[in-house]
C-alpha cells in the first residue's frame, strides 16, 4: 500500500528538486501539492510547481493557498533564488492554471477523510498549515506525521543570526503549528548546511547523470549558488527542502533524532522566527518535536540521483 503525501511548497529552486524526488520515489502517492507565498509570490510558486510536475510527466493536482503571511508583509527570497525563483535562466514559467478549490479546505478535507494516513511535508512558511489548523484544530491529531523543513536545530540562521527563512517569514504561523499537537519532525537549515551543500564538483556529478531532470536540478540553482558562496559563506548551493524530503521518504536518512520542546519567537528584532530548542526540559514543557540533528549524506544523494534517472 502506497504512503500518502500532501506537500506544501513555496516552489523555488530547492523546492523543485524536492518535488522531483517525491514524484519519482517508489511507493508514494502524492495527493496534492498546496502552494503558499514565501520564496516567491503565490502565483509564481504555482507556476514553478506545475512546470516541475510537467517536467516529470506526472498528473498531480496543485492548489493555491494563502498569498501573504498571517500578520506580516510578504518578504520573498527572490534575492536568493532569482526573480522567478528558479534561477532566472529563462524557463517558461507561466500559463499554468491550478485547481479551482482553495488549498485550505482541501487540506482539511483530505486529512479528515483519511485519519492517520496522510504525511504532511512542509517546505515553506507554515501559513497554509496554520490556517487549516485554525479552521479545524482536530486535524492536528489526524495526520500520520508532519515533516517540516524550517528552523535551526543547532547553530546559526540564514536570515538573522538565529532564524531560518521559513519560520522568519511567518513566525505566527510557525508558532500555531508547533503548539498544535501535530506529530512534528523538524529538519532545520543546519542539516542542509552540513549535509546538503553542493560545490562545483558535486554539481558536475549530478549533471553527469545526463538527463533533462539532472540538468534542470543544477541549472535552476544558478542564483542560489551565487548567494550561498557570497552571503551564506558555504562552498556551493545547498538544498534544504530536498534533504528534508529525503527524511520524509526514508526515515533512515536522519541518523540522530532528539526530542525537544520547540517554541517559536514572534518578536520584531533579530530573534523573529527563532526556533528556541529545549532539549533538556529547562522550560518545564514536554517535547513537541522530533529534531533531526545528524543525517546520512550518502543515502540522501542516492535518493536524489535515483530520482533524476531516465
DSSP state letters, the chain: --EEEEEEE--SHHHHHHHHHHHTSTTEEEEEEEE-SSSS-HHHHHHHHHHHHHHTT----EEE--SS-SSS-----HHHH-TTSSTTS----------SS-HHHHHHHHHHHSTTTEEEEE-S-THHHHHHHHH-GGGGGT-SEEEEE-S-SSS--SSBTTB-HHHHH-HHHHHHHHTTT--EEEE-HHHHHHH-EE-HHHHHHHHTT-SHHHHHHHHTTHHHHHHIIIII-SSSEE-HHHHHHHHHH-GGGEEEEEEEEEEE---SSTTTT-EEEESS-TTSPPP-EEEEEEE-HHHHHHHHHHHT--
For residue 20, give the CATH number of its domain. Answer: 3.90.245.10
Residue 173's domain spans which residues? 3-307
Domain count, the chain: 1
Per-residue pLDDT of the chain (310 residues; tens, 9 = 90+): 899 999 999 999 999 999 999 999 999 999 999 999 999 999 999 999 999 999 999 999 999 999 999 999 999 999 999 999 999 999 999 999 999 999 999 999 999 999 999 999 999 999 999 999 999 999 999 999 999 999 999 999 999 999 999 999 999 999 999 999 999 999 999 999 999 999 999 999 999 999 999 999 999 999 999 998 888 888 999 999 999 999 999 999 999 999 999 999 999 999 999 999 999 999 999 999 999 999 999 999 999 999 999 8
Q: pLDDT digit string (tens) for 70-83?
A: 999 999 999 999 99
Q: pLDDT value at position 233?
A: 84
Q: pLDDT value at position 274?
A: 98
Amino acid at each position: 500500500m502506497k504512503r500518502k503525501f500532501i506537500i506544501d511548497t513555496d516552489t523555488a529552486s530547492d523546492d523543485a528538486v524536492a518535488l522531483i524526488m517525491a514524484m519519482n520515489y517508489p511507493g508514494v502517492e502524492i495527493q496534492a501539492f498546496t502552494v503558499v507565498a514565501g520564496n516567491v509570490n503565490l502565483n509564481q510558486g504555482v507556476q514553478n510547481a506545475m512546470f516541475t510536475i510537467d517536467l516529470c510527466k506526472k498528473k498531480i493536482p496543485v492548489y493555491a493557498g494563502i498569498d501573504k503571511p498571517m500578520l506580516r508583509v510578504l518578504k520573498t527570497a527572490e534575492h536568493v533564488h532569482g526573480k522567478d525563483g528558479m534561477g532566472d535562466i529563462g524557463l517558461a514559467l507561466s500559463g499554468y492554471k491550478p485547481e479551482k478549490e482553495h488549498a485550505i479546505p482541501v487540506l482539511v478535507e483530505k486529512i479528515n477523510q483519511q485519519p492517520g494516513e496522510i504525511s504532511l511535508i512542509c517546505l515553506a512558511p507554515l501559513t497554509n498549515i496554520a490556517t487549516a489548523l485554525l479552521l479545524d484544530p482536530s486535524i492536528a491529531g489526524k495526520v500520520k506525521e508532519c515533516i517540516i523543513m524550517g528552523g535551526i536545530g543547532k547553530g546559526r540562521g540564514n536570515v538573522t543570526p538565529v532564524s531560518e527563512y521559513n519560520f522568519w517569514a511567518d513566525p505566527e504561523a510557525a508558532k500555531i503549528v508547533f503548539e498544535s499537537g501535530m506529530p512534528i519532525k523538524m529538519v532545520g537549515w543546519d542539516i542542509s548546511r552540513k549535509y546538503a551543500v553542493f560545490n562545483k564538483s558535486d554539481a558536475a556529478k549530478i549533471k553527469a547523470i545526463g538527463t533533462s531532470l539532472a540538468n534542470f536540478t543544477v541549472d535552476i540553482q544558478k542564483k542560489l549558488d551565487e548567494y550561498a558562496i557570497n552571503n551564506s559563506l558555504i562552498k556551493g548551493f545547498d538544498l534544504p527542502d530536498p534533504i528534508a524530503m529525503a527524511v520524509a521518504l526514508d526515515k533512515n536518512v536522519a541518523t540522530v533524532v532528539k526530542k525537544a520542546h520547540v517554541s517559536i519567537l514572534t518578536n520584531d528584532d533579530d530573534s523573529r522566527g527563532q526556533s528556541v530548542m529545549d532539549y533538556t526540559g529547562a522550560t518545564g514543557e514536554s517535547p513537541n518535536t522530533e529534531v533531526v540533528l545528524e543525517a546520512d549524506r550518502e543515502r540522501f544523494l542516492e535518493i536524489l540521483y535515483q530520482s533524476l534517472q531516465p
